[in-house]
Chain A
Amino acid sequence: MTSQYGPMGAGLAAIGAGIGIGQIGGKAVEAIARQPEAISKIQTNMIIAAALVEGVALFAVVVALL
């Protein structure tokens, strides 16, 4: 089903997604700390951005594992 290097690719994709989502989450928390009244707008944008990053990572995982 998969070559022996497939899982390695999936792991690399996970590293990238981890860095990306970490940045998004960290910056969002910073922004909320600075402007607590904008929390709902920041959260919505954070979730959209995280979903886009996650989508790319999942592309990579699916391609690597299947």
Chain B
Amino acid sequence: MAIVKVRVPTPLQKLTGNCPEVQAKGVNIQELIDDLEDKFPGIKERLYDETGQVRRFINIYVNEEDVRFLQQDKTSLKDGDEVSIIPAIAGG
């Protein structure tokens, strides 16, 4: 069970009490998101679609690496990792 930092993008911060960075735990991304949902209800639905896949306009990174190119939501975590949730944004 790893304890990691999660960087939360602006669109999701109203679910985390306006915190841009929170702490959460999990052995992998899937567990981490379940832990985030326990702490901040409603966040899971923003990240996953109805088929249980991460939405394709949101990327999750462990340190600098996109989990789509690792083991997706089975990507394992270790203490001190930094997980970033980065959605597509189009304002200009």
A and B from one assembly?
no
A interface residues with partner B (beta carbon < 8 Å):
none
B interface residues with partner A (beta carbon < 8 Å):
none
